[in-house]
Structure 1
């Protein structure tokens, strides 16, 4: 985990993300890149060149001042921090920063537990999740412990989820985190017999890993919904992190083939990491 990107808007939620990223950086010797995106209005973009340059410089200097104040934190002592301010108009351009600096992980703050649809869908965090080509860790609270010793990766074990699984596996290894795989069997969402699940998981792992070494880490949970199954299992093993796959074009509400509602981020007090399919 060499390089971590933290997009910020100078809010309390951004501070939570920055502190979390700093803790990860100290543990793994990572560099932090703290990104603020100006997102200048259409009116500024359509102004004359002279006006654009003058107003653009003003907002850049203002953001630079805010960034210097924002980065004046004790928890950043000993961490290599690089501030980045960009005039991005659309969030998909975040991948330019990711590629330019070879970022391994994005850490982003979000509101508390009032539900994803209210606080992430349509927000900066959701847009970063949608466009980021690297894992995105979403945190909602001031970090108390960010060891991430035990994490779960929820999957439907479909062929579409193979790439996300492999990326999650690599990320968990970088974080020195034990990864528990989970399949949630529900009565109203394509219920499968034990034999059917065994065949599904075996086929998935053979195609993804080329072997069945990770089979013992697969947990099948029966519950009334996928969300409840994931959260109940996370609580039962004392997980530090919940990881899920997301279809980028659809946003955070769609974690698997089909969809999972916003209940995971709504009710989970744990950080949630997303891997784009």
Structure 2
């Protein structure tokens, strides 16, 4: 009888949408990615990894480090390479995490808060997972926090990860 309830719960979870992890390549977003992968494994759902290519006016110079190596490279191409490398490194460090090994990568351009919420809705995500470094003070007052804005506007559960112990 207990097995039947466990199987029913797993089938219900599998019928739900994927878990969407929005990443910005920071250590906090790596922790969020790992947690999202663990949740996806536990619930038996897909893991989607999203990176939003920032508008140049929103985050000038964000991709400049990689851009110096290449001339006349589109921001989206650089961000795509960074996303591939970020997830590949996480897969390499954590080969036992099945959802992470099978993660689907998404790259979109725009304002992060808006695009994260749009992708979550379009993909029928069951949960959002984001990292946050917890900026405070004047910088937070002027710029706000993507994570904080997503939490206040989302119509689905959102988990914010500060950092997880290294495993």
> Shorter-chain-normalised TM-score: which range?
0.5 to 0.7
More helix by share: 2
With normalisation by structure 1, the TM-score equals 0.42
What CA deviation, in whole Å up to 9, does each residue of 1:179-219 have, x standing for no partner?
xxxxxxxxxxxxxxxxxxxxxxxxxxxxxxxxxxxxxxxxx
Which residue, 133, 136, 140 being the options, matches 2:162?
Answer: 140
Of 55, 68, 71, the match for 2:84: 68
| TM-score normalised according to structure 2 size | 0.67
Match of 1:93 among 112, 115, 133: 115
Mark the structure with the bigger radius of gyration: 1
Determine the structure 1 residue equivalent to 2:32: 17
Residue 109 of structure 1: which of 97, 121, 131 is its match?
131
Q: Taking structure 1 as reference, are residues 57 and 29 closer, same or farther at Cα in structure 2, changes over 3 Å only?
A: farther
Look up the SS of the partner of 1:94 in the other structure. Answer: helix
Deviations 1:23-61 (A, max 9, x none): 111111121111111121249xxxxxxxxxxx9971111
Q: How does 1:175-186 map to 2 (within 5 A)?
A: none
Helix, strand or coil at the partner of 2:20:
strand
Q: Which aligned pairs between 1:217-232 and structure 2 lie closer than 5 A?
A: none
**Cα deviation, residue 90, structure 1:** 5.5
Take 2:118 and 2:72, find their aligned partners in 1: how far apart are those partners? 20
Structure with the largest fraction of strand: 1
| CA 26–36 in structure 1, closer or farther in 2 if over 3 Å, else same | same
* d(CA) in 2 for partners of 1:88, 1:130: 19
Task: Please provide the CA RMSD for this pair.
Answer: 2.9
Structure 2 runs not aligned, ≥5 long: 1-12, 59-70
| Unpaired segments ≥5 residues, structure 1 | 44-54, 146-277
The aligned counterpart of 2:46 is: 31
SS class of match (2:19): strand
Is the 1:110–1:120 contact (alpha carbons within 8 Å) kept by the matching residues of 2? no
- Could you say what secondary structure the match of 2:110 adopts? coil
